[in-house]
Amino acid sequence: MKVLLRAVLFLDAVLDLLLGIVLLLSPFTTFYSALQLPQPQPALYGQLLGVALIGLALLLWQATVNGQLTVAVARTVGQVNLVSAVLIVAWMLMLDLPVQGAGKIWLPVLAAVLAFFAAVQIPAAKRVRVRERAQREQQALQKDTQNKDAGAAPAARRPPSPEYRREPGITPPPGYGPGTEVMTEPALDDTPSAHHARQNPHP
């Protein structure tokens, strides 16, 4: 659908460029007489409209190349083309537009082409816009789902902490630490006891 829309925008750009060139030639009466078209009066208005149409053609070309501009430009230009076609038909049928000869063919053909462009541009722009919006919503939903799945994933298992290493018990030698004091026996006197003295009164 978007490829068709771009193709129609390209054709519309070519048509607007040609119309802009024709309107820039508003001061040349012989040119309009050859085409049997009504000449804009004053010619300045025709030239200003020609400049505007050439600018619109450049915008349509950018919308054809740049996909981000396609939908917005197509929707707006489609409405402009529809109104332009209605105005041409209204002037020819009810306002007695002074056209003769080939002019009675050029203007209805132009109105029909503009109406065709509008009939393609407006619905196609709406469909492409709805499709792109649905795609953006789907992508956002998938992104949210991925984020939730990533947040709910089990945490990585931590490596088991090493067991507490028990050092071998060492019994301190006597005298080191509380409760290990060694009671020493008193030294014996070297002096003889009294009993020993009685046994040997006279040495």
Residue 168 inside a domain? The answer is no
pLDDT of res. 166? 58
pLDDT of res. 97? 74
Cβ-contact 124, 4 below 8 angstroms? yes
Range of the domain at 24: 2-135
Question: For residue 142, what is the DSSP state?
Answer: H
Cβ-contact 178, 184 below 8 angstroms? no
Tell me the C-alpha distance between 102 and 15, whole Å.
18
pLDDT of res. 197? 47
Residue 22 inside a domain? The answer is yes
Which residues, in sequence order, are CB contacts of 46 under 8 Å at separation 6+? 23, 24, 26, 39, 40
Which residues, in sequence order, are CB contacts of 157 under 8 Å at separation 6+? none
Which residues, in sequence order, are CB contacts of 56 under 8 Å at separation 6+? 16, 20, 77
Residue 84 inside a domain? The answer is yes
pLDDT of res. 173? 59
Tell me the C-alpha distance between 98 and 121, whole Å.
31
Question: For residue 171, what is the DSSP state?
Answer: P
Entry pTM: 0.64
Instruction: Provide the number of structural domains found in the chain.
Output: 1
pLDDT of res. 52? 94
Residue 167 inside a domain? The answer is no
Tens of pLDDT, residue by residue, the chain (203 residues): 778 888 999 999 999 999 999 999 988 888 888 888 888 888 899 899 999 999 999 999 998 988 888 888 999 999 999 999 999 888 888 877 777 777 788 888 999 999 999 999 898 888 888 887 887 778 777 777 777 766 655 545 555 555 555 555 566 555 555 555 555 555 554 555 555 445 555 54
Residue 121 inside a domain? The answer is yes
pLDDT of res. 95? 75
What stretches of the chain show up as alpha helix (H) in DSSP?
2-24, 29-35, 43-65, 67-93, 103-152, 194-199
Residue 16 inside a domain? The answer is yes
